[in-house]
Homo-oligomer: A and B are copies of this chain.
Amino acid sequence: MSRGVITSADVALRAGVSRSAVSRCFTPGASVSSKTRGRVMEAAQALGYRPNAIARSLNKGRSRMIAVVLGYMDNPFYPAMLERLAARLQACGYRLLLFTAKPDGSCDELFSEILVYQVDGIILGSILLTSALAQRCRAARIPLVLVNRTTDDRVVSSVTADNRNGARAVADFLLAGGHKRFAYVAGLASSSTNHDRETAFRKRLTEAGVSAFIREEGAYTREGAQDAARRLLQRPRPPDAIFCANDHMALAVMDVARFELGLRVPEDVSIVGYDDVASAAWPSYRLTTVEQPVDVMAQAAVDSLMGRIEGGQRGGEQVRIPGELVVRDSARRPASGIVTVDGQDLWRPRERMKARAKA
C-alpha cells in the first residue's frame, strides 16, 4: 500500500476480515455471506482494489492471454482480422498478446517468447507452421489455431475460407464470361492458401479444356504483384483474365494495367481477387472478388480456441468458411448466373437454375 499498489491484505485489514474472504469476494461462485461481501466490497471500492491478474495467473496456471502472431499487415485483411479478434477475445474476457514475424521466416525464436508467457492459446495468421512448432505446442498443451492457413498435420486446428470452392467459382465465372487466356498471380508458393486456390483454379480450367494458362508469383506483396503484372501483360499474347491470390495484389495489378500499360479493365483484361477487403468496393476499383468473411472467421477461431481451453475438446478441427463471389466491374460479366442480394451482385449459377426451374 505504501508503494502505491494495494493488495487483498490491505482490503482485508480495512474490512476486518481475512485475506481469503477478500479473495472469495472476487471469485465468482465462492461462498461468502452477504454481510462480509458488503464490507469487503466497500473497502475495495474505497481503496480502489482490483485483484492482480499476474498473481492470479501464476496461481491458477492460466493467464487468460492469447498470443496472436501475424506475418504482415500490409494486406488490409489482416488488420481487419486483428480488430475482430481483439473484440472477440475481449468479449470472452481474454487479453491479446500481439507478435509480428516475417511472413516467410519461421517463428521459432518467437515461440520461445510466447511460451514463456504461459498464454492459454495461440492464433497464427498467415504464418507457416513447422511440425516442430506444432509438436512444441502439443507438449506444452497450448491450443493452437491457424487462420487463413492449413497444415498437413490433422491434429492442428485451422480456420480458412473454402478456398477450393472459391477458386472453382472464379474459374466458372471467368469461363462463363467467355475468357480464353488465363493467368494466375500467386502468393507465396509455400502457403497452403495459395496452393489451394491455385490448384483448384487450374484444375477447373483444365477440366474445361483450357490450355492457355500462365502463372507468375507475386509473393503477396504489392511490388511483387506489380512485377508479375508487367511480365504477364507485356507478353506477346497477354491473358484476358487474371486471377490474383488476394485483393491486395489484385489492386496492384489493376493499377499497373490501367496506369502503366494503358489497358482498360475489364474490356482489355479481367481481374479477379480474393478477400473482399474494404478497398475492393471503392469506386476507383470495384474489384470482383471472393469474400472472406472476416468476422465469421475471427469468431470461428476464437470459438475453436475456447472449446479447447474451457471445454476439454481435443482439437484438430478444420473449419472452412464459405464466401460469396462478389461481382463488381473489374471482370467481364457473364450473361447469366448473377443474382442481386442486398444490393450486391453475387455469382450464383445454381440459384439461377433453380429460379428457372421454378418458373
A98 and B100 form a contact (CB under 8 A): no
Known: A54-B54, A76-B79, A95-B97. 6 other contacts (CB 8 A): A52-B116, A54-B118, A58-B58, A82-B98, A90-B99, A98-B98
| Chain B residues whose C-beta falls within 8 Å of the C-beta of A51 in the assembled complex | 116
Q: Taking the complex as formed, is A31 at the interface, i.e. its CB lies under 8 A from any CB of chain B?
A: no
- 24 residue pairs bridging A and B, Cβ less than 8 Å apart: A4-B140, A4-B141, A50-B112, A53-B117, A53-B118, A54-B57, A58-B58, A68-B98, A78-B79, A79-B79, A79-B82, A82-B82, A82-B98, A83-B100, A90-B99, A95-B113, A97-B97, A98-B98, A222-B278, A255-B284, A258-B283, A258-B284, A259-B284, A284-B284
Restricting to A207-240, which residues have a CB under 8 Å from any CB of B? 222
| Chain B residues whose C-beta falls within 8 Å of the C-beta of A97 in the assembled complex | 65, 95-98
A4 and B55 form a contact (CB under 8 A): no
A52 and B87 form a contact (CB under 8 A): no
Shortest A79–chain B CB gap in Å is: 4
Q: Taking the complex as formed, is A74 at the interface, i.e. its CB lies under 8 A from any CB of chain B?
A: yes
Please name the 7 residue pairs, one residue from A and one from B, whose CB atoms are nearest each other, closest first.
Answer: A79-B79, A259-B283, A284-B284, A53-B116, A73-B83, A86-B100, A96-B98
Q: Taking the complex as formed, is A288 at the interface, i.e. its CB lies under 8 A from any CB of chain B?
A: no
Q: Taking the complex as formed, is A130 at the interface, i.e. its CB lies under 8 A from any CB of chain B?
A: no
Given A4-B141, A53-B116, A97-B95: A282 touches B251 (CB 8 Å cut-off): yes
Instruction: Give CA–CA (A113, B65) in the complex, Å.
Output: 12
Shortest A284–chain B CB gap in Å is: 4
Beta-carbon nearest neighbor of A285 in chain B: B284
Most buried by B among A65, A222, A284: A284
Shortest A314–chain B CB gap in Å is: 16
Q: How many copies does the complex hold?
A: 2
A74 and B283 form a contact (CB under 8 A): no
Q: How would residues 98 to 128 of chain A score, 1 for a CB under 8 Å from any chain B CB and 0 otherwise?
A: 1110000000000011011110000000000
Q: Taking the complex as formed, is A8 at the interface, i.e. its CB lies under 8 A from any CB of chain B?
A: no
Q: Taking the complex as formed, is A319 at the interface, i.e. its CB lies under 8 A from any CB of chain B?
A: no
Instruction: Give CA–CA (A205, B7) in the complex, Å.
Output: 57
Shortest A137–chain B CB gap in Å is: 11
Instruction: Give CA–CA (A68, B99) in the complex, Å.
Output: 13
Restricting to A248-304, which residues have a CB under 8 Å from any CB of B? 251, 254-255, 258-260, 278-279, 282-285
Q: How would residues 25 to 41 of chain A score, 1 for a CB under 8 Å from any chain B CB and 0 otherwise?
A: 00000000000000000
B52 and A118 form a contact (CB under 8 A): yes
Instruction: Give CA–CA (A61, B76) in the complex, Å.
Output: 37
Shortest A202–chain B CB gap in Å is: 29
